């Protein structure tokens, strides 16, 4: 059965204006997401994951500018919408969970009141009691004791704060949740339980999820499909198993080398040497070429196209590892 497409991102490019010049943080990124589907986004720190996430909700900071592209939610391009026209989409249809819950929670208000406020902004007809009851439900659902509703953010542990931020993201009953490294910075056991919570909520509520992490092992557990980002561009996209067993892009392979379950008859490449590039001055051609063990002359000269290898497997590489 063909799944219904919920989100379609087309040729998205985003820049930050800085005193030193323009930072090319996202460049020509395209992907689709079906309703109810989970997509993992992997890549080293600084490769543009957060910029991509913020662009989808049009929450970029002042210096950020979307140069080009479309972000279609259910067929509506969000990018040309006025701020007012954006209101029914942001938080209501697409919500985001930030890496740091303090980006969602205000430090001086009670956590429960903040969730109630979000609920009211969605549905003004809710009475205070109804909103409190719904907030308590959301708390219970995300694993926070509803008795903590009247606490302040600083009274919550890091894990509990992140759960409250998840409750806030779910308050609008969104069709799509973007989770931007929601467990990074928490201790490992808490990370694991929050990860499982998000996955189980996603399944239960049937929402679509974009799960962003620099940790490929986490993504392997969460996402059936995976997008690998390098220096602002997508390197590869496809079913996770396919990416693991038949990586096309040498960068994908390099990311996976550290992943213990992977040992197959693959062309082995050495672990990734060198630093991620400075996006103020991105490398010519394929942005990965200076670090790529398989680079050819053309790689420095021309940007590789986004090629369809069939079965939903895409890569941008002049010298793919396992081109069928
Ligand atoms: N507000 C900003 N102003 C200028 N440059 C920024 C800003 N935010 C991020 N960047 C730059 O954009 C690039 C992508 O950053 P980001 O999207 O945060 O990556 P990631 O989330 O993958 O770590 C990096 O080079 C980063 O330094
Ligand atoms: Mg980030």
pLDDT tens per residue across span 95-130: 999 988 888 899 999 999 999 998 988 888 999 999
**Ligand 1, residues 46, 56, 227, 279: which to mutate, most atoms within 8 A of Cβ?**
46
Look at residue 270 in the predicted model and tell me its pLDDT: 55
Q: In this model, does residue 72 exceed pLDDT 50?
A: yes
Rg (CA), the chain: 20
Cα(237) to centroid of ligand 2, in Å? 19
Mean of the pLDDT values across residues 173-182?
95
Strand pairing report for 21-34 and 38-42: unpaired
Q: Whose CA is nearest to atom 27 of ligand 1?
A: 46
Average model confidence (pLDDT) across the chain:
91
- C-alpha to C-alpha distance for 314 and 321, rounded to whole angstroms: 13
Mean of the pLDDT values across residues 199-222?
90
- C-alpha to C-alpha distance for 25 and 46, rounded to whole angstroms: 8
Q: What is the pTM of this model?
A: 0.93
Look at residue 267 in the predicted model and tell me its pLDDT: 46
Check: CB of residue 207 under 8 Å from CB of residue 218.
no
Q: Tell me the domains of the chain and their CATH numbers.
A: 1-84+179-190+207-324 (3.40.50.300), 94-173 (no CATH)
pLDDT tens per residue across span 286-312: 999 999 999 999 999 999 999 999 999
Look at residue 155 in the predicted model and tell me its pLDDT: 94
Check: CB of residue 164 under 8 Å from CB of residue 101.
yes
Three-class SS state of 49: helix
Three-class SS state of 238: strand
In the chain the first and final C-alpha atoms are separated, in Å, by 26
Residue 61 near ligand 1, beta carbon < 6 Å: yes
Check: CB of residue 64 under 8 Å from CB of residue 14.
yes
Cα(266) to centroid of ligand 2, in Å? 30
Q: Give the environment of ion ligand 2: residues with CB less than 5 A.
A: 49-50
HSE-CB of 279 using CA atoms within 13 angstroms: 21
């Amino acid at each position: 059965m063909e799944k219904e497409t919920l989100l379609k991102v087309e040729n998205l490019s985003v820049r930050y204006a800085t005193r030193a010049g323009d930072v090319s943080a996202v460049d020509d990124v395209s992907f689709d997401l079906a309703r109810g589907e989970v997509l993992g986004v992997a890549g080293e720190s600084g490769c543009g994951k957060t910029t991509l996430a913020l662009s989808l909700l049009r929450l970029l900071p002042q210096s950020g500018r979307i140069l080009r592209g479309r972000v279609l939610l259910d067929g509506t391009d969000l990018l040309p919408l006025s701020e007012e026209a954006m209101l029914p989409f942001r938080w209501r249809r697409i919500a985001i969970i930030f890496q740091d819950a303090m980006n969602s929670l205000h430090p001086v208000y009670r956590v429960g009141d903040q969730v109630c406020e979000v609920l009211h902004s969605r549905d003004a007809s809710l009475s205070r009691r109804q909103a409190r009851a719904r907030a308590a439900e959301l708390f219970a659902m995300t694993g926070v004791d509803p008795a903590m509703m009247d606490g302040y953010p600083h009274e919550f542990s890091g894990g509990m704060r992140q759960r409250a931020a998840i409750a806030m993201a779910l308050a609008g009953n969104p069709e799509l949740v973007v989770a931007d490294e929601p467990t990074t910075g928490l201790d490992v056991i808490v990370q694991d339980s929050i990860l499982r919570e998000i996955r189980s909520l996603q399944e239960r509520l049937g929402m679509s999820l974009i799960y962003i992490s620099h940790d490929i092992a986490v993504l392997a557990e969460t996402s059936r499909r995976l997008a690998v980002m390098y220096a602002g561009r997508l390197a590869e996209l496809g079913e996770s198993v396919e990416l693991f067993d038949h990586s096309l892009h040498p960068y994908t392979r390099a990311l996976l080398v550290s992943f213990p379950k992977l040992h197959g008859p693959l062309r082995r490449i050495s672990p990734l040497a060198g630093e991620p590039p400075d996006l103020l001055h991105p490398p010519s051609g394929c942005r990965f070429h200076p670090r790529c063990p398989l680079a050819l002359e053309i790689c420095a000269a021309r940007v590789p196209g986004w090629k369809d290898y069939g079965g939903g497997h895409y890569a941008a590489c002049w010298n793919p590892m396992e081109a069928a």
